[in-house]
Amino acid sequence: MKKDGMVQSLIHSIKYKNNKRLAKDLGEALALSISSQAKFSKPDFIIPVPLHPKKRRKRGYNQSSLIALGMNRVWGTKVLDDVLIRVKNTQTQTTKNRIQRWANTREAFKLQNAEQIRNYRILLIDDVLTTGSTLEACANVLGEIKGIKMSIATIAFAP
């Protein structure tokens, strides 16, 4: 994702300009793109990276959940917003370096209702991969669940 490029503009439109439809449309496009890969195996569940309740109330929605709903349109795969929860209201990651991002997200996520995904294939979804600290923190928590097979996808990545 290039700074001030088209993809960054799309992500900003989703996160900061209330463009919920775009998030779902990009989720559909991502699902179609993933489906075309030779090693694709449809997940049993999609788990969006959660926002802290305070941030979700302020924004009014979780952009990762909307992307997941777009993927659901293509695959019919259930989106679970109640397995991974954000318990730490972290500061924005945009101005932090890799180490600061890792420290910011450490212990930010917890499991609840985890038994419903035991022994299933899950797809963890987020909008952007920058350093990977958020997704790593989520994956570490989800990895505590026995028997899951986990994949990760994002709309964009920042070099």
125 and 64 Cβ atoms separated by less than 8 Å: yes
**Amino acid in the structure at residue 49:** V
- Specify the pTM: 0.88
Residue 147 lies in a domain: yes
pLDDT by residue (tens digit) across 70-120? 999 999 999 999 999 999 886 665 666 666 766 667 778 999 989 999 999
Strand partners, 85: 110
Residue 130: which CATH number? 3.40.50.2020
Beta-carbon contacts of 127 under 8 Å, excluding residues fewer than 6 positions away, are 11, 14, 15, 23, 63, 64, 67, 154, 155, 156
Which domain does 55 fall in, by range? Answer: 6-157
**Amino acid in the structure at residue 41:** S
Total tally of structural domains belonging to the chain? 1
Residue 73 lies in a domain: yes
pLDDT by residue (tens digit) across 19-33? 999 999 999 999 999
